Amino acid sequence: MRILRRADYPAIGWKNGRGIAYQIAADPPDAGYDAFDWQVTRPEITRDGPFSSFPSLDRQFMLVAGSGLVPRLHSAADGVALEWRIDRALEPFAFRGDWSAECSLIDGAVQVFNVMTRRGRAGARIEVASADAVRPLAKSAGETLVAYVARGPVEAWGSWGKATLAADDSLLIDEDESTAVAVAAAAEHPAQLVLVRLHRERASR
């Protein structure tokens, strides 16, 4: 288990060169866009325009801060022509990286939370959890859990001791065996976590 601080997230350029994202975690850790099995980032979108094209990747993202955005998705092959307004924080939105995508900002720059998985090699399940009272975070054997602090601060306890995480910090729990930690709000304000449960997918035979 590792505590990942916002100040230590490396800034990486978007594939299309139109912005930056802060990388929370990836597997393999140093793999580029064409090689990772999964990647969790916290991008900033500062202007209208196209998203990067990611054939063979599945994407899930949600609004973290800002007024919102309107993605427009298109795929003739899959019969997709969709425009969707995202103006509520922490509500996951999923789409395929193969689809043509661009977005308009509703009222200024936004921060989003982004998860990408390579189809056939990894999958991800996202949930949003409140941490007002003490609650356990359990991870199954063989699973990787990224716990992102969307609203904080929070305190976390485990066999390693106790730590305080500010908003935008994360926990990476990637031991092979099943593991559990406890978390709770560290202040009077409500705390919320985005939990990303990542797993390997077996190739079909």
Distance in angstroms (rounded) separating the CA atoms of residues 76 and 90: 29
Domains in the chain, please, with CATH? 2-121 (2.60.120.10), 123-200 (2.60.120.10)
3-state SS string over 106-130? Answer: CCCCEEEEEEEEECCCEEEEEEEEE
**Would you state the pLDDT for residue 203?**
56
| Contact indicator for 193, 183 with CB cutoff of 8 Å | yes
| Contact indicator for 165, 153 with CB cutoff of 8 Å | yes
Distance in angstroms (rounded) separating the CA atoms of residues 198 and 178: 13
pTM score, two decimals? 0.93
Backbone angles phi, psi at 84, to 5 degrees: -140, 125
**Can you list the residues of the chain whose pLDDT is less than 50?**
204-205
